[in-house]
Structure 1
Amino acid sequence: MIRQTLIGLSIAAVAGSTALAQEAARSDWPNTVVIGTASPGGTHAIYGQGVASLISEHVGVPASTQQTQGPTQNLVLVHSGRIDIGLTTMGPAYEALQGELDLDPGIKYDDIRALFPMYVTPFQGAALERSGIKSLGDLAGKTVGAGPRGGTGGTYWARWFDALGITVNVQNGPLGDQTSQLADGRLDAVTTAAGLPIAAFSELETLAPTVFFGLTSEEIETLKSSVPYAQEFTIPAGTYSSQAEDITTLAMWNVAFASSQMSESLAYEIVKAVFENQEDLVATHASASETLLENVTANSFLPYHPGAVRFYREQGIDLPEALVPAEMTE
């Protein structure tokens, strides 16, 4: 009887110490986690909802999303401590590290840390079939929606029109609103960048016959030297029901990121929850099929958070030196 009592006390002591350890590890966690996404109609908004659900269910911290102007604004919001996690493409992330971010020029964002790779974002355009527009060259003199000013499309398409010598009246706004304006004839085309398939484009083709287009090989050759973080990409035929052929274009990878000030244990648990429940994320949006451990090094320059590094090393991933933050090598 005494022996059984001692065993019981020992088990209780171990359980108690484990609970205390877990409580201590969570002592610097926030009460809630806010994820900056993008405007309605784009992939970031849907994907971010999936991440929030995983965090709420598997990490145990209530998480929610905040609609933003997209990747560039998300960088500003995380850097200023106004949100906890942001979703961005590699282009704005590269410019933030260099102190060349449009929304905050001259400030180097050396405190941002990647959490996990998301998916590839191809640049693409859409126009109504009746307009006769089939390519970028056909947009000369037209009024084109390019998504929110702080989004990837809003940032790069305006630059690329100039680089390609195409004079376009660029309008900024939420992607969902702009595809509605296109269907109503208030815009001639919409150009954007988002994971496939873009919900707003899928909805557009149910409203009117639609043509989708990307970049020609000559346009890609002209642009790619100025965007070393972009890659050539093919949007497969059938991505949209009215897309009969493959579309060539440029694309950028997306990453979820946080501040270096995020708790290491929280970052670890978030990354772990994403990869251990990736199928749930895919159920939210098909683009999450690219949220894989094998794509961790698709990010080639943004250092990962120490909590993420710990998880990846446990999975046997040998990260390049550039992806290990300075605070882990000092």
Structure 2
Amino acid sequence: MRNVTPKVLTGTLASALVLAAASASAQDRSDWPSNFTVGTASQGGTYFVYGSGWANLIADELGISGGGEVTGGPNQNLALVHTGDIALGLTTMGPAAEALAGESPLAPGVSMDNVCALFPMYETPFSITTLADSGITSISEIPDGARIGFGPAASTSDTYFPRILEELGVNFERRNGGWNDLGGQLQDGLLDVIAFAAGIPVPAVSQLEVQTDVNIIEFTEEEQQQIIESFPVSAFQIPASTYETLEEDARAVSMWNFTIAGCDLPEDFIYEVTKLSMENNDRMREIHRSAANSIPENLDKNKVLPFHPGAVRWYEENGYEIPAERKLN
């Protein structure tokens, strides 16, 4: 907030007040980290765009050095935040639940209890893309032994999408890689299908549309219901306006994403990060339009992690109730 000195104050008094304010500000930040990193995911995915843009917003507005870092996605972000190797990250609620229960594929048996939630991001739809000339127009038409790209190893997509397709009776060869790389492989005929779990629009899919004709495959009503009953996901519709290829909304399933932080980070620092993020949704939407859902009204979508005390303070000051079970003990 900009300080305005009333004209009636003398120059000496005004200068003293300014110096006092500056001193107080410096003192308030004495335990803040000198820099920070936001764990994102691979380039070509929504996490990278969202996380890097959010990191830049924090750095610019709070005057602290920081930026986004390419990672393997939610599972790795949870592990890096838990150990303190990075301060902030992005994750989905499925991997978060597994990590807290000591069931992370990256660290089996380790309960990642130094991870706190900050604010809701958006829903991650699970969607399937193929080349139009593949002739694949439905999940049931994916041929046996199809080469399917599931994103970076241990990502949300790689953790859940293979299980989802196996549940639906699809037999496949599993491939991993960054979304941009997998998009290139699809174009080159090295893959038959890419199974995306990423915020929409997925940059790699938008790029594919520019370069070639694609099919975006939706779930049937029966497939959608079967998956909802078997996995921690919800029904979702990908709006037709998301991609040029879609002529009508596409049926899918989704999982919620939240930003996360080390629970031991200073309360004042996280309070300011939360305040900046929650009070500037217009700027968040400029980073990625999926941030339209990055609002306090979606706090109840976190049914897994405790909220950081700094985040709790901002929410409660602004009239949002945090359930006792979602507060750090």
1:238-292 CA-to-partner distances (Å, cap 9, x unmatched) read 3110111211111011111011111101101111111222212211211111111
Deviation of 1:97 (Å):
1.1
- Cα separation, 1, equivalents of 2:169 and 2:273: 44
- Cα separation, 1, equivalents of 2:131 and 2:10: 75
Counterpart for residue 125 of structure 2: 122
In structure 2, the residue corresponding to 1:238 is in which secondary structure? helix
Deviation of 1:151 (Å):
1.4
**Paired AA for residue 22 in structure 2:** A
**Paired AA for residue 243 in structure 1:** L
Q: Do the aligned residues in 1 keep the contact of 2:306 with 2:326 (CA within 8 Å)?
A: yes
* In the alignment, structure 1 residue 141 sits paired with structure 2 residue 145: yes
Partner of residue 158 from structure 1, selected from 146, 159, 162: 162
Counterpart for residue 179 of structure 1: 183
* In the alignment, structure 1 residue 240 sits paired with structure 2 residue 243: yes
- Cα separation, 2, equivalents of 1:137 and 1:102: 29
Counterpart for residue 95 of structure 2: 92
- Per the alignment, do residues 138 and 25 of structure 1 end up closer, same or farther by CA in structure 2, a change over 3 Å counting? same
Q: Do the aligned residues in 1 keep the contact of 2:145 with 2:172 (CA within 8 Å)?
A: yes
Higher mean alpha-carbon deviation, 59-68 vs 14-23, is at 14-23
Q: Do the aligned residues in 1 keep the contact of 2:44 with 2:204 (CA within 8 Å)?
A: yes
Q: Do the aligned residues in 2 keep the contact of 1:302 with 1:322 (CA within 8 Å)?
A: no
Unaligned 5+ runs, structure 1: 1-5
Counterpart for residue 22 of structure 2: 19
Q: Do the aligned residues in 2 keep the contact of 1:50 with 1:280 (CA within 8 Å)?
A: no
1:29-74 CA-to-partner distances (Å, cap 9, x unmatched) read 1111101100011000000121112111111111111101111111
* In the alignment, structure 1 residue 227 sits paired with structure 2 residue 231: yes
Counterpart for residue 30 of structure 1: 33
Counterpart for residue 48 of structure 2: 45
Q: How many residues align?
A: 322
- Cα separation, 2, equivalents of 1:287 and 1:34: 21
**Paired AA for residue 28 in structure 2:** A
Partner of residue 204 from structure 2, selected from 200, 207, 210: 200
- Cα separation, 1, equivalents of 2:119 and 2:101: 21
Q: Which runs of 4+ in 1 moved over 4 A?
A: 6-17
- Cα separation, 2, equivalents of 1:246 and 1:220: 14
**Paired AA for residue 196 in structure 1:** I
Deviation of 1:82 (Å):
1.1
* In the alignment, structure 1 residue 301 sits paired with structure 2 residue 309: no
- Cα separation, 1, equivalents of 2:322 and 2:23: 32
- Cα separation, 1, equivalents of 2:280 and 2:57: 7
In structure 2, the residue corresponding to 1:47 is in which secondary structure? helix
Deviation of 1:175 (Å):
0.7
Q: Do the aligned residues in 1 keep the contact of 2:81 with 2:114 (CA within 8 Å)?
A: no
Counterpart for residue 188 of structure 1: 192
Deviation of 1:215 (Å):
2.2
Unaligned 5+ runs, structure 2: 1-8
Counterpart for residue 3 of structure 1: none
1:3-45 CA-to-partner distances (Å, cap 9, x unmatched) read xxx9776655554444333222211111111011000110000
Q: Do the aligned residues in 1 keep the contact of 2:236 with 2:253 (CA within 8 Å)?
A: yes
* In the alignment, structure 1 residue 249 sits paired with structure 2 residue 252: yes
Q: Percent of counterpart pairs with the same letter?
A: 42
**Paired AA for residue 167 in structure 1:** N
In structure 1, the residue corresponding to 2:236 is in which secondary structure? strand
1:80-137 CA-to-partner distances (Å, cap 9, x unmatched) read 2111101111111111111111111111111110111111110001001111111222
Q: How does 1:270-309 map to 2 (within 5 A)?
A: 270-309=273-312
**Paired AA for residue 205 in structure 2:** F
- Per the alignment, do residues 300 and 84 of structure 1 end up closer, same or farther by CA in structure 2, a change over 3 Å counting? same
Deviation of 1:325 (Å):
1.5
In structure 2, the residue corresponding to 1:190 is in which secondary structure? strand
Q: How does 1:251-266 map to 2 (within 5 A)?
A: 251-266=254-269
- Cα separation, 1, equivalents of 2:115 and 2:230: 23
